[in-house]
Amino acid sequence: MTTKRRWFWGSFFILGAVLLVASRLGWISAQFGFWQLLTGIFLLAIVIFSVAHRTISGTVFGLAFLAILFAKPLGITALAPWTILGVALLVTIGLSLILNPHNYFKTKFYSYRSNQNNHWNGQATTERMTTDEAETTVRVNMSSSIRYLQSQNFTHARIDARLGNVKLYLTDVRLAPTGATIDVSASLSGVELYLPKDWPVKFALANNLADIDEKGQHLPGNGPTVVIQGNLSLSGLVIYYV
């Protein structure tokens, strides 16, 4: 690391320490928690680093995460985290097309299927797929996926999202007699689940600066139960009861 860089980053983190002390002493009108401010300093460092290296995705998503983290002081609490991340994804794609189209179109996309599961990985694109397996897996990385399930004996779904968006439709699914589980592992992502309104649903999620919302009228019956479990980190999960 050059002397200039050492001075810059050293001064940056010292300024972060000053802001942290000022916030705790009430010198700043807006009150921030210790971990909130520490995370904000880290994200700001990522944004500055991304700007310096002309990295579109790092800059846009870094700003998006800052917006999610400080939504209340910014007055944008009406925007769910998954909405902000969706906007960031679209802005990233748009800027990539405008500013760097040649490298953008070189991005590789691939999909593969196994006997029991469907897996997908991609970059800066949207996948749409309909499957009828009892088990399914959706993986996204800096991309989007829309999956429609039509299984008559659904038992398990796994969602693994990193800097992306996932929509999983289970409205045409029949649960296995023993019930089903949906494992969600989301980091800086938005996940939407569309479930029949009469399904009994149980949550077992670890929440780290994430938002969980339920929409629609939930009228659970006496049938098998769906357990939604996993980890959410700086992400949004929305359950739509249809």
Q: What is the pLDDT of residue 6?
A: 67
pLDDT at site 32 = 64
Say whether 67 sits in a helix, a strand or coil.
helix
DSSP 84: H
> pLDDT for 51-62, tens place per residue?
766 677 778 888
pLDDT of 111 reads 37
Q: Where are the domains of the chain?
A: 3-79, 110-241
pLDDT at 196: 95
Q: Whole-prediction pTM value?
A: 0.55
Task: Print the SS3 string covering the chain.
Answer: CCHHHHHHHHHHHHHHHHHHHHHHCCCCCCCCCHHHHHHHHHHHHHHHHHHHCCCHHHHHHHHHHHHHHCHHHHCCCCCCHHHHHHHHHHHHHHHHHHHCHHHHHCCCCEEEECCCCEEEECCCCEEEEEECCCEEEEEEECCEEEEEECCCCECEEEEEEECCEEEEECCCCCECCCCEEEEEEEECCEEEEEECCCCCEEEEEEEECCEEEEECCCCCCCCCCEEEEEEEECCEEEEEEC
pLDDT of residue 114: 37
Q: Identify the pLDDT of residue 107.
A: 40
Q: Which residues of the chain have a pLDDT value below 50?
A: 101-124
Specify the pLDDT at position 184.
96
